[in-house]
């Protein structure tokens, strides 16, 4: 899978901040995904004592959510840990994993923020611009914003507000469990992002693409079988 080299990753925090502000204006907040056949998930393991981390991208067939491809890379994390700049640490690793994919997903869901970010450019948005594909941020915690109470039923939601701006939504994906925080990444609107996250949930709190990507990054996900890979539509 190819991607666009929009900027260098060897930048200072001040330079990274300006890049975020510039790229945020390029994020498309209208949905360009209708009937995806392949949905990818991306996640990264914690950095180890060597300064190395594993990035995993998995590709699932939709709507049955069967794993058809995975890519895992291990690389050194170069950018320091600074709150609000996670994408400068992790996006290069995710892109390296994407580069090894033989299939091109129609939609990505990342275990990260999209525009629910102080400068409206979390990892999901950053990744979407580099790949030029629709992306959704589906994070396990809030980086910025606040929301009201949610009902306990799956599908319940509450808008995530940063000041007066809607930057995402808290979404209950499973009854009586903590919500996930969904935001626009790139080339989706919020309603579409919420729909596709719920459509990818398979009885767990996390949508299946990011749940399996997390397992793959931890080395706990077997490769898809040749049988399942052979079930892909011929036109792919």
Q: What is the pLDDT along the chain (236 residues), one digit of tens a residue?
A: 989 999 999 999 999 999 999 999 999 999 999 899 999 999 999 888 898 999 999 999 999 999 999 999 999 999 999 999 999 999 999 999 999 999 999 999 999 999 999 999 999 999 999 999 999 999 999 999 999 999 999 999 999 999 999 999 999 999 989 999 999 999 999 999 999 999 999 999 999 999 999 999 999 987 775 445 545 443 33
Residue range 15-142+184-229 in CATH 3.30.2170.10: yes
Which helix (H) or strand (E) segment holds residue 89: the answer is helix 86-99
| Phi, psi for residue 106 in degrees, rounded to 5 | -85, -20
CA pair distance 216, 131, nearest whole angstrom:
21
Per-residue pLDDT, 231: 54
Query: For 72-93, b where at least 16 C-beta lie within 10 A, e where not — what string?
Result: bbeeebebeeeebbbbbbbbbb
Per-residue pLDDT, 114: 98
Per-residue pLDDT, 225: 59
CA angle 221, 76, 213 (to 5 degrees): 20
177 and 170 Cβ atoms separated by less than 8 Å: no
Per-residue pLDDT, 235: 37
Per-residue pLDDT, 59: 98
């Amino acid at each position: 899978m190819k991607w666009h080299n929009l900027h260098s990753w060897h930048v200072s925090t001040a330079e990274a901040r300006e890049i975020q502000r510039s790229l945020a204006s390029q994020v498309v907040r209208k949905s360009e995904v209708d009937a995806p056949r392949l949905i990818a998930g991306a996640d990264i393991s914690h950095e180890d004592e060597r300064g190395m981390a594993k990035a995993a991208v998995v590709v699932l067939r939709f709507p049955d959510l069967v794993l058809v491809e995975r890519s895992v890379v291990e690389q050194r994390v170069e950018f320091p840990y600074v709150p609000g700049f996670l994408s400068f640490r992790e996006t290069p690793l995710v892109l390296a994993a994407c580069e090894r994919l033989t299939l091109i997903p129609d939609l990505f869901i990342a275990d990260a923020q999209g525009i629910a970010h102080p400068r409206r450019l979390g990892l999901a948005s950053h990744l979407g611009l580099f790949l030029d594909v629709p992306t959704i941020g589906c994070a396990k915690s809030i980086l910025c914003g606040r929301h009201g109470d949610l009902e306990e039923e799956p599908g319940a939601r509450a808008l995530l507000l940063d000041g007066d701006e809607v930057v995402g939504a808290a979404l209950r994906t499973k009854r009586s469990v903590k919500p996930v925080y969904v935001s626009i990444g790139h080339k989706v609107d919020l309603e579409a992002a919420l729909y596709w996250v719920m459509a990818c949930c398979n009885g767990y709190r996390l949508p299946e693409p990011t749940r399996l990507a997390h397992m793959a990054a931890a080395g706990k996900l077997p490769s898809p079988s040749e049988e399942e890979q052979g079930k892909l539509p011929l036109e792919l």
